[in-house]
Chain A
Amino acid sequence: MSPFACVWVDFFAAAAAERCEPALREGALAVVIPAAHAKILEANAAARAGGVGPGMTETEARARCPALVSRPWVDAHVAAARAALLEAALGVSPRVEDAGAGVVHVDAAGLERLHGSPAALGAHLLGQARRVGFAARVALAGSRAAARLVAASAAAAVTVVPPGRERAALAPLSLAALALDADLAATLARWGVTTLGGLAALPREGLGARLGPAGLRAHDQALGRDREPFRAWTPPPFWEEAQELEWELDALDALAVVLARVLARLAARLEAAQLAAEALDVELALATGGRHARTVPLATPTCEVKPLLALLRLDLERHPPPAAVTRVVLGARTVRARAGQGGLWRPPAPAPRALGAVLARLAALVGGDNVGSPALLDSHRPDAHAMLAFAPPDEAGAEDEHRGQDGWRGRCSPPPAAVAAPPAGGSHDAWNAPARHGSPATPAADARTAGGADPARPRPAPDGEPEHRLVLRRARPPRRVEVETAGERPASVELGGGVQRVVACAGPWRASGEWWDVGEWAREEWDVALAGGALCRLAWDRRTGAWCLDGTYD
């Protein structure tokens, strides 16, 4: 196995533009420096075949090639394309080197057991590059210099130089492949040296004495020797793709088309690196000069374009940009994707991808704060609960292992989406109050009525049938009602437009809390059966003297 491979992309600036707009691959393309007299910086193969080359003015280029399409140089496009090529190579070998725009060295040592023959490894690299939008060439040789020079000048997509044959493989190549500076190239031309083989045949000592370090460097390259140590490239912790827009977009449908294109590029990069996005950062540059930034968390890590685009659209529908958009930047927060398998005996659960899309649609429909999983707070305050992001536990009972001291469930992140009551705990002051089933949310308080048994387990009724729990339908917010009392007991309640007599009642159950804080509360609760048939819970606020309807037992 040759220890090094080189992935080479011709005319990289043009290839980066084609990656952003795949339709440009069909015709002649030139990348120009945006200026008053725009000059051609790079041209693709079709443009070069039409006589267009770097350094020409755009006018001259158009005169030579009327079908020429020009695009301005965009730093972000080229940087993203360069990163994409490196990441694609990283999917094949853990050690890659950034050797310039469109050139990646790959350490292929030890990969034969994974990929087979050198040709198969080259084909794999070629496929990876194609997946992120590049038509590349690959060469494998014993040194990086040899692999790079062969890749730059080869006609075939994959070229393998047999071990020890590097010098012979480089010998017929033109001296222009070394991209020497003009003076050195002119000197060698005067000596009649036109190929790498001719340069390699020159005596090294004499070459060093006459041409100095530049001559020795050229000689080493002609022999296929590496002068620099391998500098492994590490991917940055952020993954970003950007798209400049030629005109302003103010409609979401049109913006979605651009988002789909940018997302496809980003997803291809993630897939090549075997990563998945757990959140997307969207930054839209606005025509007003401002920015519109959104972060879209994903219920499950994925790199599939369709669900990601749906989630982005839903988020932007809820939070549209305030002005027309001129630039789109998408960033991904990545995690290593791990395959999982459901339990054999567990009921099926919603697929994470489908669940994420449904949660996003529900959030768009009723608001993000109104969708989630309820969680009880460690407080005696009535109706103390929080709404957490919905993420059903994988294993039954796994949740209890992660339950914190403060009563929050173990899913520490993200934080609660909405809290119905302050999380500060109340104290249950039962001033000589009888035990009851109602307001305390803690299992200990509930156990007083259940005789210490599991309160959630149906108990056998006197007739032997399992007995279920009576639940309350909450009135949110608690409804103010007028109550007439006889002594301290409710006698009649004005409810639903009429006065209803209380036929039976039980209470009071007194509770208070947070007297040490601004959220102090103190109340007495009564369970009342009304003549109309309703079975309600009434509460008397001891601080204000007002009665309210907490809810109805149903």
Chain B
Amino acid sequence: MFCFATLWVIVFLSAPTLSAGWVWDTGNALGFAAMAGLLFLSVPGGARLAPRQHELIAYGLVILVAAHVLWFLLLDGAVVQYLTTDAPAYMWSGIAAAILVIVLVLLALMPTRLSVHKTFGRFRRWHRAIAIVAILASAYHLIGSGLYLQSPMQAALLLLLCVLVIFGRRVLVQTARVKVPVFVAVTAASIVIFVTVRLVD
């Protein structure tokens, strides 16, 4: 789970114990977990990540994204203003990333995939291209909001991680077989760590 570990290290480089309360931190932990999941799914798995596991983890990613949005809409009455046309670009970038994740999943489902793409190669190219745009949109959402990534070094490291995932397919290959329960456990543990470290202070 290189993506989770690296992203969490980057997040905790600046003011690791600065808490905004468990409600706010949990909502953002869901968002960071979604970003880590998106990066994880973009790392080539080869035979080690079976298509069915990739599909199930992608469903988990959609749930994380939805939970991130619903959490804030439910528990912070001001956040809804970030869904209006006056919202800053980094929020629109987050909305675009969320929609792209949903598009990625819907267009990969059978029989939609066959009706949209004539060949598997064509599907893969489009799937990968949309995933790259989703990753970059998510990165801008995290960096632009500046809530947890506050230093230029954190921003640079996040971009480096994204570039590594996008272009480092020859060096960054999943070395362990990851199944859905493992992914769920790592996600849950990451969220708990994100919140509790800040509550301890």
Q: Tell whether A and B belong to one assembly.
A: no
Query: Residues of B with Cβ closer than 8 Å to A?
Result: none
